[in-house]
């Protein structure tokens, strides 16, 4: 008897936030996105890229254009009025971006 095909699994992690141009008007944070999968749909089983928030926002807009009636997950909010430390904000955003990619 043939064994069943292994279940396809994909894990994604948003890690290692880095602040660029700190203290200047054009400072931003990017995050490392690490993907690991056994899916046949991917040629590379692991990949790693760095992306910033605006690129997640672009991805969400593209998904919305093509999603039809499928709801597109929310991104963590853009914070103009954030109370607390920058580190806290960056960590909360990291968690929100990871939830977005998992969904």
Whether 64 is covered by a domain: the verdict is: yes
For residue 3, is it within any domain? no
Q: What percent of the chain has pLDDT over 70?
A: 90
45: closest CA among 54, 36, 32, 56? 36
Q: Which residue has the higher pLDDT, 2 or 34?
A: 34
pLDDT, mean of residues 14-28? 90
pLDDT attached to residue 86? 84
Q: Does any domain span residue 42? A: yes
pLDDT of residue 67: 80
CB 57 within 8 A of CB 75: yes
What is the rounded distance in angstroms from the CA atom of residue 5 to the CA atom of residue 80?
48
Q: For position 57, what pLDDT does the model report?
A: 95
**What total of structural domains would you count in the chain?**
1
How large is the average pLDDT for residues 51-62?
A: 95
Q: What residues does 32 pair with on adjacent strands?
A: 15, 50
- pLDDT (tens digit, 9 = 90+) per residue, 68-88? 888 899 999 876 555 667 888
- pTM for this predicted structure: 0.81
50 domain residue, yes or no: yes
For residue 34, give its domain range: 10-102
Q: What's the CATH number where 56 sits?
A: 3.30.1520.10
List the structure tokens of 100: 């977005």
Element spanning 96, H or E: helix 86-102
Tokens (6 digits) for 9:
């699994």
In a domain, 1, yes or no: no
Task: Summarize the confidence of residues 86-98 as an average pLDDT.
Answer: 92
């Amino acid at each position: 008897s043939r064994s069943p095909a292994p279940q396809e699994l994909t894990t994604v992690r948003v890690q290692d936030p880095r602040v660029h141009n700190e203290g200047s008007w054009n400072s931003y944070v990017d995050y490392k996105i690490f993907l690991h999968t056994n899916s046949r749909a991917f040629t590379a089983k692991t990949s790693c890229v760095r992306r910033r928030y605006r690129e997640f926002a672009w991805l969400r807009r593209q998904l919305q254009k093509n999603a039809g009636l499928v709801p597109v997950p929310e991104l963590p909010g853009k914070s103009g009025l954030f109370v607390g430390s920058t580190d806290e904000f960056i960590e909360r955003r990291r968690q929100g971006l990871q939830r977005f990619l998992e969904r």
